[in-house]
């Protein structure tokens, strides 16, 4: 018991094996800038800084001294005659030690030639990093006939060839207006959004004003880095208006969960600080080439400085997709003829394996692929043409406003991940109805236009007394006919001449309304709630 007893005081910094399990519930969040900067920066104290050097003689120079006049420092022989370059080693942490030099009784640190050379290579590329200003107007899924109050955010981006700018998709999601500002400039230039890749969280912008491109050089892309390779993240994070640079190393390369895209793609984990506003900023290697885009970080009380970067293979896939199709297409699910291990991995690089979904990110819509299938104890081979993958409950709304239809106070809508997030918050996977979650995880559409239609809420009126508690319940049929999508349901109700409107709902529930009374009451309900129309624009055509 004596070995297990811990002394009173500060909790150990390293988590125990039990606490490591909590990382499965840690929030990995996208890092778009907050509307306004906070003032919670930690105070910098010189007392918290300790200089460490491998040179024994010089290390004595930085020890703390008592009160009074400093002792005279011993003379250190000059081991570096003029004109001769000094090559230094690295300490156990991979850092290049600095040599303190006494000048007039004070100790100064000489410049580090290695980091100076790295900075010299990255500095020209920093001029290609821009600040992105976006005004967002999000849809209101609870009141689908209107939008939420607009808000502003700032993030980062960088110039690539062809007079284009890359940033994160979540940085310009539901955009109303996007502007860009160059480093050291006070002018904001109106930008045009060329393409948004929601799954890979990348967006492409351009600026029509030729003045913006004066003096701007596109960044050059580098190869996928390896573990422990140095990376430098450049952007405009919260805490100031000027450009910010943070450095670290690549600590992990694997298939990551892209929070904004609700997908799993190749990603880099780095130990450089990535904060709000860094979204869309480039990550450079030691040669000054871009090796990724900062896009999300891990937020948990037991971890710090864990950031994630979209690597160059995913970036180049997005760029080539735009150049090939004039837009961004969905990622395809395919084995592509490569054998997959029992643990779901495929060979990646020397001594490395990676999740087979990495193969998915390499394919385009319309490509051919050879797949191998085990069926009834027989191995079968097929050559197929790849098409887009759809789910019954889509992961994104693609920037479109939500569809709705109202009759007698019953608000009919379609289910999507943004809809569930709006209704139940970030924990929608636990809070939403079980049957809807089952369809979210496993259901596939039986036709290209199939949707999951629900009664999202009931606007209380005399005609719907007794039905007020119906919330987010699926509509499976109308007057004996199956409901395939919201548009067909609205058309059937509008053209119905039967005496009654009968809606078959999930959980064996039935809603029955008199047709003439329901249609007459709808106008009064719309006026009471200041709703301009009984259906969204996409249902009117």
Q: Show the domains of the chain with their CATH numbers.
A: 126-213 (2.40.10.10), 331-386 (no CATH), 404-539 (3.20.190.20)
- Distance CA(169)–CA(295), nearest Å, equals 9
Identify which of 34, 63, 60, 41 has the alpha carbon closest to the alpha carbon of residue 50.
63
How far is C-alpha 314 from the chain's CA centre?
Answer: 13
pLDDT, mean of residues 303-328: 85
Tokens of 183: 């480093």
Query: Tens digit of pLDDT for each residue in 171-228?
Result: 999 999 999 999 988 899 999 999 998 888 999 999 999 999 998 999 999 998 999 9
Backbone angles phi, psi at 419, to 5 degrees: -65, -45
pLDDT at 355 over 80: no
* CB atoms closer than 10 angstroms to residue 200: 26
> For residue 124, how many C-alpha atoms fall within 13 Å in the half-sphere facing its CB?
12
pLDDT at 163 over 50: yes
Burial of 153-187, coded b for 16+ CB within 10 Å and e otherwise, reads bbbbbbbbeeebbbbbbbbbbbbeebbbbbeeeee
- Distance CA(126)–CA(113), nearest Å, equals 20
> For residue 299, how many C-alpha atoms fall within 13 Å in the half-sphere facing its CB?
9
Tokens of 25: 């519930």
For 44-48, 299-303, 435-439, 452-456, which range has the lowest pLDDT when averaged over its residues?
A: 44-48
Q: Quote the pLDDT of residue 263.
A: 80
Local structure of 34: helix, strand or coil: coil
Local structure of 167: helix, strand or coil: strand
Give me the residues paired with residue 257 across strands: 264
- Distance CA(98)–CA(50), nearest Å, equals 12
What letter does residue 32 receive in the DSSP assignment? P
**Which pTM does this prediction carry?**
0.64
Q: Helices 434-442 & 417-424, crossing angle to 10 degrees?
A: 150
Identify which of 360, 414, 415, 416 has the alpha carbon closest to the alpha carbon of residue 388.
360
Burial of 443-475, coded b for 16+ CB within 10 Å and e otherwise, reads eebeeeebbbbbbbbbbebebbeebeebebbbb
Tokens of 427: 């924990």
- Enumerate the active-site residues: 170, 201, 279
- Distance CA(418)–CA(376), nearest Å, equals 39
Let me know the angle formed at the C-alpha of 289 by 286 and 294, rounded to the nearest 5 degrees: 95
pLDDT at 492 over 60: yes
Tokens of 380: 């079968």
- Distance CA(197)–CA(113), nearest Å, equals 40
Tokens of 405: 């239809």
pLDDT at 99 over 80: no
pLDDT at 327 over 90: no
Query: Tens digit of pLDDT for each residue in 40-76?
Result: 434 333 333 332 233 333 333 333 344 444 444 444 4
pLDDT, mean of residues 151-168: 95
Query: If pLDDT is split at 50, 70 and 90, which confidence band does 32 have?
Result: low
Mean of all residue pLDDT scores within the chain: 77
- Distance CA(137)–CA(238), nearest Å, equals 22
Q: Quote the pLDDT of residue 95.
A: 44
Q: Quote the pLDDT of residue 302.
A: 76
Give me the residues paired with residue 156 across strands: 131
**Quick one: how many helices (H) and strands (E) in the chain?**
11, 26
Report the percentage of the chain scoring pLDDT > 70. Answer: 66
Tokens of 4: 């297990």
Q: Which residue has the tokens 């297409």?
A: 329
- Distance CA(413)–CA(142), nearest Å, equals 10
What letter does residue 148 receive in the DSSP assignment? P
Identify which of 282, 279, 311, 271 has the alpha carbon closest to the alpha carbon of residue 296.
279
Tokens of 244: 């910010």
Query: If pLDDT is split at 50, 70 and 90, which confidence band does 321 have?
Result: confident
Q: Which residue has the tokens 């709630």?
A: 529
Beta strands, E only, 271-367: 282-284, 290-299, 307-311, 345-347, 353-355
pLDDT at 15 over 70: no
pLDDT at 391 over 90: no
């Amino acid at each position: 018991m004596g070995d297990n007893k811990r002394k009173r005081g500060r909790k150990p910094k390293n988590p125990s094996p039990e606490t490591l399990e909590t990382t499965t519930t840690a929030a990995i969040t996208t890092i778009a800038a907050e509307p306004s900067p906070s003032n919670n920066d930690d105070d910098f104290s010189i007392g918290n800084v300790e200089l460490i050097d491998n040179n024994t003689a010089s290390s004595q120079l930085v020890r703390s001294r008592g009160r009074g006049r400093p002792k005279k420092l011993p003379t250190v022989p000059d081991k570096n005659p003029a004109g001769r370059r000094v090559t230094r080693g690295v300490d156990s942490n991979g850092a290049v030690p600095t040599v303190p030099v006494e000048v007039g009784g004070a100790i100064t640190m000489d410049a580090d030639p290695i980091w100076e050379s790295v900075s010299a290579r990255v500095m020209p590329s920093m001029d290609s990093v821009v600040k992105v200003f976006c005004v967002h107007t999000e849809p209101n899924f609870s009141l689908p006939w209107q939008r939420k109050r607009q808000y502003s955010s700032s993030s980062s981006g960088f110039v690539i060839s062809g007079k284009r700018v890359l940033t994160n998709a979540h940085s310009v999601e539901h955009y109303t207006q996007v502007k860009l500002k160059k480093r050291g400039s006070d002018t904001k230039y109106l930008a045009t959004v060329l393409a948004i890749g929601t799954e890979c969280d990348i967006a492409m912008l351009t600026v029509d004003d030729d003045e913006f491109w004066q003096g701007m050089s596109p960044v050059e892309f580098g190869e996928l880095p390896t573990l422990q390779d140095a990376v430098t993240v450049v952007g405009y994070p919260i805490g100031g208006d000027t450009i910010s640079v943070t450095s670290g190393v690549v600590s992990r390369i694997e298939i990551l969960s892209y929070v904004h895209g609700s997908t799993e793609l190749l990603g880099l984990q780095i130990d450089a600080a990535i904060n709000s506003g860094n979204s869309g900023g480039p990550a450079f290697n030691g040669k000054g080439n871009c090796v990724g885009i900062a896009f999300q970080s891990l937020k948990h009380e037991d971890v710090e400085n864990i950031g994630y970067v979209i690597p160059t293979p995913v970036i180049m896939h997005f760029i080539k997709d735009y150049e090939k199709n004039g837009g961004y297409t969905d990622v395809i699910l395919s084995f592509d003829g490569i054998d997959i291990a029992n643990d779901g991995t495929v060979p990646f690089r020397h001594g490395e394996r990676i999740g087979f979904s990495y193969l998915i990110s390499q394919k385009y819509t319309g490509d051919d692929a050879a797949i191998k299938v085990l069926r009834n104890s027989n191995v079968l081979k097929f050559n197929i043409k790849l098409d887009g993958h759809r789910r019954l409950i889509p992961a994104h709304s693609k920037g479109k406003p939500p569809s709705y239809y109202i009759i007698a106070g019953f608000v009919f809508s379609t289910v999507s991940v943004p809809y569930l997030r709006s209704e139940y918050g970030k924990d929608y996977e636990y809070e939403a109805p079980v049957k809807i979650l089952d369809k979210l995880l496993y259901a596939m559409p039986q036709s290209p236009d199939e949707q999951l239609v629900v009664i999202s809420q009931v606007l209380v009126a005399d005609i719907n007394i007794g039905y007020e508690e119906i919330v987010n319940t699926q509509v499976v049929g109308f007057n004996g006919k199956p409901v395939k999508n919201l548009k067909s349901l609205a058309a059937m109700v509008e053209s119905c001449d039967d005496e009654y409107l009968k809606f078959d709902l999930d959980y064996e529930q039935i809603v029955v309304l008199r047709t003439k009374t329901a249609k007459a009451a709808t106008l009064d309900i719309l006026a009471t709630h200041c709703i301009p129309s009984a259906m969204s624009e996409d249902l009117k055509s």
